Structure 1
Amino acid sequence: MNNNIHVLVIPSWYLTKEHKLRGIFFKEQATNIQKLGAKVGIIYPEVRWLSLLNFTNLRNNYFQTKEHLEDGLITFRKHGWNIYPRFPRKQAEYWVKQGIILGEKYIKKYGIPDVIHAQSTLWGGYVAMKLSEKYKIPYIVTEHSSAYVLTNIEEWKKEAIKEIFKKSSKIFAVSSTYAKRLAEYTDGKEVYIIGNSVDTEFFTMKKYVRREKFTFFTVAFLKKNKGMDILIKAFNLAFKDDNVILRIGGDGDERKNLENLVKELKLEEKIEFLGSLNRKEVKMEMQNCNVFSLASKFETFGVVLIEALSTGTPIVSTNCGGPYDIVNDKVGKLVEVDNIEELAHALKYVYVNYSDYNQNEIRQYCIDNFSNVAIGKKQLEIYNSVTKDKG
């Protein structure tokens, strides 16, 4: 296998100074394969909303193209603005145009890559397709967006998605459940599975749980599709009299409703809202809880689950897509979506049988299947297979 392969990564969304965690997993995956020997470049049209427009931001972002070395990754960015806020199609066309320009500049300086990896179809995948047509470079697409499930996609976008998939060398989804959801766009073309990865050197094994009370932890954007109301009701049903607490990380539109629900159920002493947490705080919570729980209605993957597993923490999750490929009986329990009684039973089961879960085995399962090295090696195999097919 050629570990020195040249890969150009095109994320459809990516971290910026304003959004430091957006697309962080794309950056981590690129770093992974570079550590394994690949030459990696990233291009990203950094298009800001006009609501952020002020003198300072305009001075720093005046439609210039800049090359950055970001944690060792060669990164080309277009620092611009969304000049078509009310016209989504024009907005997409502009983003794609800027992406193509960045790709051409990257290739002019660093040569033609062996393969292009688009992270999501809209619109990184479209840029990859256009660069592929011009330079005869094979490209693959990994789809991450939950829009295929949670929203109605406009026809013009559907046509673009189908064309991107049709012309790609390979299509990947982050879970088997999600792969099935993509079928209407792929015209029978096979969708392969490759999960997300976790930095197991950052999310390290818990030494011991410091809290006196048995602790459940969850973290998410507090939106309706995250099912936090279901989790709270299930927790209430499972632990009427037990010395157990639930800590909820994250913020969002549903927070006030959830706080009112907690008051209504008289759970103020058992459930605590922590607000927004950074990665270090999430790690600390995972290392100091007994069990992690996820009650989402749909997840394309569920990165928080593998972060918990990396710390040796057992999990209780709804069977909402991605978790199907992550959770087995040795690491936790899967339950039906929106089923309060079943979720309550699972929470109680893991609480009662907590000593049956081996923290070292849980972490090792995560390392073997979802660590940066494990997923990075799979990615290199994919890139090599695509370039071999080209030859």
Structure 2
Amino acid sequence: MKILISVFNNLYTDQRVEKVCRTLLEADYEIDLIGNNWEGLPEMERPYSFSRIKLKSKTLRFAYIEFQWKLYKKLLGKATSETILIANDLDSLWPNLLVSKKLKIPVIYDSHEIFTEMPSLKGRFVKKVWKFLEKRLMPKVKYMMTESESYAEWFQKEYLIKPIVVRNIPRRITEEISFPENKPKIILYQGALNQSRGIPQAIESMNYLENIVFKIIGDGPKRNELENLVKEKKLENRVQFLGKMLPNDMREITKTADVGLSLEENNGVSYLYSLPNKVSDYIQAKVPLVMINFPEMMRIKRQFNIGEVVENHNPQIIAEKIKKVIENGRNFYLEELEKAGKVLCWEEEENKIIKLFKKVEAENF
């Protein structure tokens, strides 16, 4: 059975799509992954077939439109009657549904977020366009995965579809991790440098902390603004921008941190109901967290004492929680982090994917 997987990005750092592809490959499916060259064409090696559609558009708005048409043609050329389609997020769903209808083959929708509720769309006309598209396409979706229980509840309420929940969490780290005696101590943020991630407030919290360095892994549209904030606050020697890293390289840095931050802001339900990848990355690396009190993070905190919770983005409050974690030390949270790591790992999630695909096969072939 062939699986055609499509997503609007250049594939390089998309950990969820990579994990799904490997899980299906190990289950003896033939994998063919399709992305695009938006934000470049970095060299890649994968144990399965992949290609990237070349887009000529220079603005995201037109790139989306160009991608829809080119993806439709690409899928039509690659799909057979023995193919299952996977559309990742709303920006690839329409072409997949068109090909699904034309060839009478099933499509699985994997929604990594609530696309129409992303902060980047808030207050913009383009949100109405995507919402119009979502309302027209969602009733046609029969099989669906999404990343959190809260997302699943939202889709069920909004569109009467019940997705299976496959959390975007890393594979287990089984080797022993040694805790370095960092001087100064290290706090860490990893992820995209976008709006509503709580990064400016984390930077400002450094004014209330001593003998601590703040490392930021990732890149994005807010990087220049954040770097200017660091200069304005005269924190150049205490805040380090490490840029975008491959997942394995990032994981090695994560293991050395004393505190991991996840301080997303409530700028729409897509963030409010998210379970950021970084939360599980910190847990697997045995790094205690300072995190915001959003529903999915509180689900974990109620099960496992993996760190401290803040209820707002006051930099002084953030600093107090960071101090508490550092004073407690990593060993204080180790037992709970280890318990959480055995539950919050990809090995516990991938069985749900295989079960879904077996169901799709049984009902369609």
- Cα 1:222–1:254, aligned 2, differ >3 Å: closer, same or farther? farther
User: 2:9 corresponds to which residue?
Assistant: 13
For residues 354 and 255 of structure 1, the distance between their equivalents in structure 2, rounded to whole angstroms, comes to 28
User: 1:112 corresponds to which residue?
Assistant: 82
Cα offset, 1:10, TM superposition: 1.9
- Cα 1:254–1:320, aligned 2, differ >3 Å: closer, same or farther? farther
User: 2:328 corresponds to which residue?
Assistant: 353
Task: Output the amino acid matched with 1:377.
Answer: N
**Given the alignment of the two structures, is residue 294 of structure 1 paired with residue 262 of structure 2, yes or no?**
yes
Cα offset, 1:70, TM superposition: 5.0
- Cα 1:40–1:318, aligned 2, differ >3 Å: closer, same or farther? farther
Deviations 1:120-166 (A, max 9, x none): 121x2112211211222222212124552311444333222223221
Q: Retained in 1: the 8 A contact 2:197–2:264?
A: yes
For residues 324 and 161 of structure 2, the distance between their equivalents in structure 1, rounded to whole angstroms, comes to 41
Q: Give the alignment of 1:89-104 within 5 angstroms.
A: 91-104=63-76
For residues 48 and 352 of structure 1, the distance between their equivalents in structure 2, rounded to whole angstroms, comes to 44
Deviations 1:92-132 (A, max 9, x none): 45422322222233234xx522x32211121x211221121
Q: TM-score, normalised by structure 2?
A: 0.80
Q: Give the alignment of 1:120-159 within 5 angstroms.
A: 120-122=89-91, 124-145=92-113, 148-150=117-119, 151-152=121-122, 153-159=126-132
Task: Output the amino acid matched with 1:190.
Answer: K
User: 1:209 corresponds to which residue?
Assistant: 180
Cα offset, 1:233, TM superposition: 3.1
- Cα 1:193–1:286, aligned 2, differ >3 Å: closer, same or farther? same
For residues 227 and 163 of structure 1, the distance between their equivalents in structure 2, rounded to whole angstroms, comes to 34
Q: Give the alignment of 1:370-389 within 5 angstroms.
A: 370-371=345-346, 373-389=347-363
Cα offset, 1:71, TM superposition: 2.0
Q: Give the alignment of 1:194-205 within 5 angstroms.
A: 194-200=166-172, 205=176
Deviations 1:179-236 (A, max 9, x none): 455567x4333344221131435x9652121423332222344444222221133343
For residues 91 and 232 of structure 1, the distance between their equivalents in structure 2, rounded to whole angstroms, comes to 33
Quick one: which of 219, 230, 236 aligns to 2:207?
A: 236
Quick one: which of 219, 230, 250 aligns to 1:259?
A: 230
For residues 268 and 166 of structure 1, the distance between their equivalents in structure 2, rounded to whole angstroms, comes to 51
SS at match of 2:109: strand
Unaligned runs of 5+ in 2: none
Cα offset, 1:386, TM superposition: 3.4
**Given the alignment of the two structures, is residue 42 of structure 1 paired with residue 32 of structure 2, yes or no?**
yes
Cα offset, 1:324, TM superposition: 4.2
Q: Retained in 1: the 8 A contact 2:261–2:291?
A: yes
For residues 298 and 225 of structure 2, the distance between their equivalents in structure 1, rounded to whole angstroms, comes to 26
- Cα 1:250–1:131, aligned 2, differ >3 Å: closer, same or farther? closer
Q: Percent identity?
A: 14
For residues 241 and 127 of structure 2, the distance between their equivalents in structure 1, rounded to whole angstroms, comes to 37
Q: Retained in 2: the 8 A contact 1:335–1:342?
A: yes
SS at match of 2:6: strand
**Given the alignment of the two structures, is residue 31 of structure 1 paired with residue 1 of structure 2, yes or no?**
no
For residues 290 and 29 of structure 2, the distance between their equivalents in structure 1, rounded to whole angstroms, comes to 39
- Cα 1:259–1:368, aligned 2, differ >3 Å: closer, same or farther? same
Q: Retained in 2: the 8 A contact 1:120–1:143?
A: yes
Q: Retained in 2: the 8 A contact 1:30–1:40?
A: no
User: 1:164 corresponds to which residue?
Assistant: 137
Cα offset, 1:292, TM superposition: 1.0
Q: TM-score, normalised by structure 1?
A: 0.76
Q: Retained in 1: the 8 A contact 2:143–2:163?
A: yes
Cα offset, 1:380, TM superposition: 0.9
Aligned residues: CA RMSD: 3.3
Deviations 1:275-306 (A, max 9, x none): 31423542232121211112222544311222
The alignment of Structure 1 onto Structure 2 pairs a total of residues equal to: 348
User: 1:65 corresponds to which residue?
Assistant: none
Quick one: which of 243, 256, 260 aligns to 1:276?
A: 243
For residues 343 and 198 of structure 1, the distance between their equivalents in structure 2, rounded to whole angstroms, comes to 26
